Amino acid sequence: MIRRLFAILALSLPAASFAGESAVALNALRKITGETGVLPPPIAGRAAPAGKFKPGEGVDHSDQFPTGSRNQGDVGSCHAFASIGLLEAAYYRKYGEHQAFSDADLFLQNTVLNGNIYSGSILDRGYTYNGKADLKEGGSSITLLATGDIDFAIKHGVATEPQYADFLGRYRRYREAERRTLEGIEREYREMPWYVKLLYNPRTHWKKLQKDPASRKILQNYLLGNDRAIEDQREATRRKLAGFRVVKSLHAAAPQELKLSDARCESVGAGRAESVLAELKAGRPVGVSYVSGAMFASHVLIISGYTVGDDGKAVFKTRNSWGAGGNFDMFPRDMCKVHGIFSVR
């Protein structure tokens, strides 16, 4: 049953030709509900009218995080990065010490190992349409996966050691091999006589393989390394995170919001801006998921504070997952694009 997975991992080994074609293959591969490959542009907008805020007002919760902004690379893992950041901040508030959690481990557990392209759900890790397999990594357009990551980490724990940079190279090779395997499965399925399909379905075989405990363990060992300490780390953090909870609010937002005027967007998103400010004033960074492009493309990041200048205009400060220099400012007039707000308490 695990023969095909061994074949994928064999194909995942570094090859001289992969370096030149990986970026093109990855970008062409995925239909993403979220960002990956080509990152979405920052939200554009102007600040709130003067007089709405007091000059000099503001908070900065960036000191709650153990590191600066980390980099997701060309993988649609913004939901995992935002979730990890909120958990790290909540951990600091409770225990008074910084603890970095593994973005790679959470992404592996709740996306790579917990999704299935043949599940029949377009909100899962992928789907098939007209005999073509489309893979995706981002969360759904209503942040179910984004908040689901936090709930998953609280319930099951998350490792602290596996570093994302080490994981990323292996994951890219695995996904390229997986893509070729899925193409073979779809080709095999199309060419099979109908009476053979009654006895054997390669799609069903792959679906079962994805959930097989032995297969999952082999894949984890390949992507994170065969480190027995990982399970101990998960258990330790699970105990430490016990009692934390996710508070979320979901809102209607669609690509049409990208076309609204600044004034209209500020009016529509006023309640969302107030929710964000309430969390920040209570001492908690807040995660937001927003529409970033057509076809319901979304991105997730953390708002870590806000400032107000002498002109009374507010600026939300962000912790993004695009590495050094990847943070950008958001404004109340951007809030109509936000379809999910969540925090950890």
Residue-number span of the structural domain to which 315 is assigned: 3-344
Q: Would you state the pLDDT for residue 15?
A: 39
Q: Would you state the pLDDT for residue 276?
A: 95
Contacts for 342 with CB less than 8 Å, ≥ 6 apart: 86, 143, 146, 147, 150, 246, 247, 248, 249, 286, 287, 288, 289
Q: Would you state the pLDDT for residue 123?
A: 63
Most confident range, picked from 23-37, 55-69, 118-132: 55-69
Question: Residue 49 — pLDDT band, cuts 50, 70, 90?
Answer: very low
C-alpha distances in angstroms, 135 versus 27, 60, 112, 159, 334? 11, 38, 11, 26, 30
Please say whether the beta carbons of 292 and 43 come within 8 A.
Answer: yes
* pLDDT of 140 strictly over 90: no
187-197 pLDDT, tens digit per residue, is 998 899 999 98
227-257 pLDDT, tens digit per residue, is 889 999 999 999 999 999 999 888 887 777 7
73: left (phi over 0), alpha (psi -120 to 50) or beta: left
* pLDDT of 258 strictly over 90: no
Q: Which of 174, 290, 161, 291 is nearest to 226 (CA)?
A: 161
Domain of 52, CATH number, reads 3.90.70.10
Query: β-pairing, 126-129 with 314-319?
Result: unpaired
Question: Residue 208 — pLDDT band, cuts 50, 70, 90?
Answer: confident
Mean pLDDT of the chain: 81
C-alpha distances in angstroms, 137 versus 33, 60, 99, 117, 159? 8, 31, 26, 11, 20
DSSP state of 52: S
292-322 pLDDT, tens digit per residue, is 876 667 899 999 999 997 778 789 999 999 9
Question: Residue 12 — pLDDT band, cuts 50, 70, 90?
Answer: low
Q: Would you state the pLDDT for residue 96?
A: 98
Please say whether the beta carbons of 340 and 78 come within 8 A.
Answer: no
Q: Which of 219, 223, 183, 229 is nearest to 203 (CA)?
A: 183
Q: What's the structural domain count of the chain?
A: 1
Q: Would you state the pLDDT for residue 81?
A: 95
**201-227: b (≥16 Cβ within 10 Å) or e:** bbbeebeebbeeeebbebbbebbbeee
* pLDDT of 116 strictly over 90: no
Helices marked H in 133-287: 144-156, 164-191, 194-197, 202-211, 213-224, 229-241, 262-268, 270-281
Q: Would you state the pLDDT for residue 203?
A: 87
